Structure formats: structure tokens, C-alpha cells
Amino acid sequence: MSPDADQAVTDLFRVLMHPTRLAILDLLRDGEQCVCHMEAYLGKRQAYISQQLMLLREAGLVQDRRDGWNNYYRVVKPEIFTLIDNARSLAGYPNPAGNVRQPRTACPCPRCNPVLDVVELVIN
């Protein structure tokens, strides 16, 4: 391994070395999510979540997309989940089902409220 590669891997681990960033990536396993969805599920303020998302984006792990009022993020390197799952297993938590989260507050995002989409379709 070259020193450059060692540094790059160290930088990657440093980005993952944070419970909230791991939780954000977990929320993005099933596809893109609105920042408001992450707020509801993590019980953290938007500014704090945005700060963590910026670090994940700078590391090339996620990309964002704005749609109206909502800002969506998605994972662009899904192989990161293999790494996280292996690390969890090494740490003694091999069961991914144990990581399923429930929202702390009612989630206002369009994905959690498909009825709103239906209403929009009717109006349009």
C-alpha cells in the first residue's frame, strides 16, 4: 500500500468515525431521503444534520438534490454499507435488523406521507 492510499483510507475511516454519520448512512440504505426525514428519525436539529451531511458529501459518499422546499440526499457508493456491516459485526452487532430505527417525531417528508402526493396529483 502506498502512503497516499493509507492516508485516503484513514480519511474515509475518520468520516465514518461518528455515530450520527453512521446513523445518517443507515437511513439512506433504502434510497434517498429528505433532510427533514433525518431530523425526525434522529431527533437532531437540521443545522447539525446538515453539518454531518456536508462531511459525508466532501468524502464523496453522498450527493444532494433540491426539490422545492426539500433537500434530498442519497448514497453514491453503496459498497460503504458492506464496510459498515462488517465493522458492526466485528464490534459485536452482526444483526442489521437491530439497527432499524423509529422516528422520534412525526416525519413530514413526502415519502412518509404518500397521501400528500396523491392530493397533489389530484390538484394537478
Q: By CB under 5 A, is residue 42 in contact with Zn ion?
A: no
Q: By CB under 5 A, is residue 55 in contact with Zn ion?
A: no
> Which one, 15 or 75, has the nearer CB to Zn ion?
75
Count of residues touching Zn ion (by CB under 5 A): 4
- For residue 34, the one-letter residue type is C
Q: By CB under 5 A, is residue 109 in contact with Zn ion?
A: yes
Sole residue written with cell 394537478? 124
Could you tell me if 23 and 42 are in contact, meaning their C-beta atoms sit under 8 angstroms apart?
yes
Stretch that binds Zn ion, among 32-40, 52-60, 70-78, 82-90 (CB under 5 A): 32-40
Site residues for Zn ion per CB under 5 A: 37, 107, 109, 112
